[in-house]
C-alpha cells in the first residue's frame, strides 16, 4: 500500500452509547440504537476497511500483507508487523463500567491462560481478548465527566463516613488503620465482596445521604453527591454507586485530555471524546455493568495508590498543530487546525498515521500522481509510511494518531502566498 486510503469504520452499539453523537459526526441520521464507539484501526475484533487498489479491504489484512510499506520498516520491526494503536471516538450517554486494563506482562499471561482453558475468544466471560496492554489517552470533544484513580485516603474516609458510616464502619476502619496501598486494597476488596444484604444497606444509606445530608459544602454543588444520585438511578443494586467517594472525579473541557496507565481504575461517565490507545480490547470490570465481572483478577491488576489528577493541555508545535504528550510508546495524539492561507506539512519519516476530520473541510494532497482527497466532518484516512510527504490545507480540524519516536514534527503554518 503506497497511497492514502479512505477508511470505513465499525460502530460499536454498546448500551451506554449516545443516540446522536456519532451519527452527527458521520453526517448520518440517528437510529434507535445507541452508538457508543467508532473504531479506527486494525484490531482483529473490528478492523477498518480501507479503499485500496480499487476495492475495499481489511486494514488488518493490508498491513499483514505489506507491513513495511504501511508501518515503515522501523515500526514493523518494533511492533511485530502490527499497527500499535487503536483510534476511537467514544460517545457516552450513560456511565461505563468501573474498569482497569492489564500491563503487558499480565495481558500476555492472561491471554495464554484463557487460551489453555479453552475459553472462546468472543465469550462473554473472557477477560483477555488479546495479549497486549492498553494504556490510553482520552481527549474531550464535549464536556466530559469521569472517574480515575483513588482519591487521597483522608478524602475517602470523609466521604464514606458521611455517606454510610453506620453500615461501613468496619470497612472504613480498614483504610483508617492502614492508610496506604494495602489498606486501599483491603477496603476495595471488602466493598466488592460484601454480602448482598449489606451492599444494599450501604447503597441505600449513601443514596439517602447524598440527597439530604448536610455537609460543609452545599450538597447540590458537590459532584460526588450528584454522581452518587445519578449512578443510583442507573444501577440501584450496584456497589459502584459509592465509587465517586473513592475515585477522583474529573470534568474535562473540550480540548483537555487525560492519560490512563495500565492498572488505573477508571469509569467514563458522560461525554464525547477522542480515545487513542495501544491496540487492545482487554478490560477487567468491577461494577456499574451487566457484563462479566472477575473481582479476583481485577484485584490482581489494579494499582492501589492515592493519585492526583493530571489534566493534559496540548503543547503547541506550530500555529496549526498541538500535541498531547504522554509516555506511551505505541501512540501519539495531536490536533491539526488549518485555515485559509495556511497549510500543514507532514514529516518525511513516520509510521502509519490515521486522520479523523472533526470540523470543517480539509484537503489532503500527497503530491503529483494522486488526486487530492477532500476530508469532510466524520471522514477518516490512513496515510501509510510509504507516502513520502503530504499536505493539509482548507478550513477545518482533524485529530491525528501516529507512532511516537518515528513520527517527527515538521509543523509549520505557511502563507499560501509564500
* Residues carrying an active site annotation: 285
Q: Which residue has the cell 444494599?
A: 200
**pLDDT classification of 221: cutoffs 50, 70, 90:** low
**Is the confidence at residue 416, as pLDDT, over 70?**
no
3-state secondary structure of 391: strand
Q: How many CA atoms lie within 13 A of 318 on its CB side?
A: 18
The whole-number average pLDDT for the span 155-169 is: 94
* pLDDT, the chain, mean: 91
- Integer Cα distance of 94 and 234 in angstroms: 8
Give 7-58 pLDDT, tens digit per residue. Answer: 999 999 999 999 999 999 999 998 889 999 999 999 999 999 999 888 999 9
Domains of the chain and any CATH numbers: 152-245 (1.10.441.10), 315-402 (2.60.120.10)
The whole-number average pLDDT for the span 80-98 is: 95
pLDDT given at position 408: 44
- Integer Cα distance of 354 and 86 in angstroms: 10
Lowest mean pLDDT among 282-296, 301-315, 320-334, 349-363: 282-296
pLDDT > 70: percent of the chain = 94
Q: What is the model's pTM?
A: 0.91
3-state secondary structure of 14: coil
Q: What is the DSSP letter of 340?
A: T
**Which residue, 338, 340, 347, is CA-closest to 389?**
347
- Integer Cα distance of 67 and 210 in angstroms: 54
**Is the confidence at residue 211, as pLDDT, over 80?**
yes
Within 10 A of 64 (CB to CB), how many other CB atoms are there? 13
pLDDT given at position 236: 94
pLDDT given at position 213: 57
CA dihedral sign of residues 31, 33, 39, 42: negative
Give 352-361 pLDDT, tens digit per residue. Answer: 999 999 999 9
Lowest mean pLDDT among 51-55, 92-96, 318-322, 411-415: 411-415
- Integer Cα distance of 375 and 219 in angstroms: 46
DSSP 23-76: HHHHT----SS-B-EEEES--TTSPPEEEETTEEEEHHHHHHH-HHHHH-HHHH
pLDDT given at position 418: 30
In angstroms, what CA-CA distances link 199 with 209, 236, 271, 392? 15, 11, 29, 55
DSSP 278-293: ES----EEEESSSS--
pLDDT given at position 52: 82
Lowest mean pLDDT among 71-80, 142-151, 365-374, 381-390: 365-374
Counting runs of H as helices and runs of E as strands, what totals does the chain give? Answer: 10, 21
**pLDDT classification of 90: cutoffs 50, 70, 90:** very high
Give 98-154 pLDDT, tens digit per residue. Answer: 999 999 999 999 999 999 999 998 888 888 888 889 999 999 999 999 999 999 999
- Integer Cα distance of 345 and 287 in angstroms: 45
Give 259-276 pLDDT, tens digit per residue. Answer: 999 999 999 999 999 999
Amino acid at each position: 500500500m503506497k497511497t492514502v486510503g479512505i477508511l470505513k469504520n465499525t460502530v460499536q452499539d454498546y448500551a451506554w452509547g449516545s443516540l446522536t453523537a456519532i451519527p452527527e459526526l458521520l453526517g448520518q441520521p440517528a437510529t434507535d440504537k445507541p452508538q457508543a464507539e467508532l473504531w479506527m484501526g486494525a484490531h482483529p475484533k473490528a478492523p477498518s476497511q480501507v479503499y485500496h487498489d480499487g476495492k475495499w479491504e481489511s486494514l488488518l489484512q493490508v498491513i499483514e500483507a505489506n507491513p513495511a510499506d504501511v508501518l515503515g520498516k522501523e515500526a514493523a520491526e518494533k511492533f511485530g508487523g502490527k499497527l500499535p494503536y487503536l483510534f476511537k471516538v467514544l460517545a457516552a450517554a450513560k456511565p461505563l463500567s468501573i474498569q482497569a486494563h492489564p500491563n503487558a506482562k499480565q495481558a500476555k499471561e492472561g491471554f495464554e491462560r484463557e487460551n489453555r482453558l479453552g475459553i472462546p475468544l468472543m465469550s462473554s466471560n473472557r477477560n483477555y481478548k488479546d495479549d497486549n496492554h492498553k494504556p490510553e489517552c482520552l481527549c474531550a470533544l464535549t464536556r466530559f465527566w469521569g472517574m480515575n484513580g483513588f482519591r487521597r485516603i483522608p478524602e475517602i474516609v470523609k466521604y464514606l463516613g458521611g455517606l454510610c458510616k453506620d453500615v461501613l464502619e468496619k470497612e472504613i476502619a480498614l483504610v483508617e488503620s492502614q492508610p496506604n496501598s494495602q489498606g486501599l486494597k483491603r477496603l476495595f476488596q471488602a466493598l466488592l465482596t460484601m454480602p448482598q444484604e449489606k451492599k444494599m444497606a450501604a447503597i441505600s444509606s449513601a443514596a439517602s445521604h447524598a440527597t439530604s445530608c448536610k455537609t460543609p459544602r452545599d450538597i447540590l454543588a458537590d459532584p460526588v453527591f450528584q454522581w452518587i444520585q445519578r449512578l443510583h438511578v442507573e444501577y440501584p443494586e450496584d456497589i459502584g454507586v459509592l465509587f465517586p467517594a473513592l475515585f477522583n472525579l474529573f470534568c474535562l473541557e473540550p480540548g483537555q485530555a487525560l492519560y490512563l496507565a495500565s492498572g488505573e481504575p477508571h469509569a467514563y461517565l458522560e461525554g464525547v471524546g477522542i480515545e487513542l490507545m495501544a491496540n487492545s480490547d482487554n478490560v477487567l470490570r468491577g461494577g456499574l455493568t451487566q457484563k462479566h465481572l472477575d473481582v479476583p483478577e481485577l484485584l490482581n491488576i489494579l494499582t492501589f495508590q492515592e493519585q492526583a489528577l493530571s489534566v493534559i493541555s496540548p503543547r503547541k508545535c506550530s500555529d496549526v498543530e498541538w500535541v498531547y504528550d504522554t509516555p506511551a510508546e505505541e501512540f501519539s495524539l495531536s490536533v491539526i487546525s488549518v485555515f485559509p492561507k495556511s497549510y500543514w506539512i507532514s514529516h518525511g519519516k513516520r509510521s502509519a498515521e490515521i486522520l479523523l476530520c472533526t470540523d470543517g473541510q480539509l484537503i489532503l494532497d500527497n503530491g503529483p500522481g494522486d488526486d487530492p482527497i477532500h476530508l469532510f466532518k466524520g471522514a477518516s484516512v490512513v496515510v501509510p509510511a510509504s507516502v513520502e510527504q503530504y499536505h493539509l490545507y482548507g478550513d477545518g480540524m482533524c485529530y491525528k494518531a501516529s507512532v511516537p519516536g518515528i513520527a517527527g514534527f515538521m509543523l509549520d503554518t505557511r502563507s499560501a502566498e509564500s
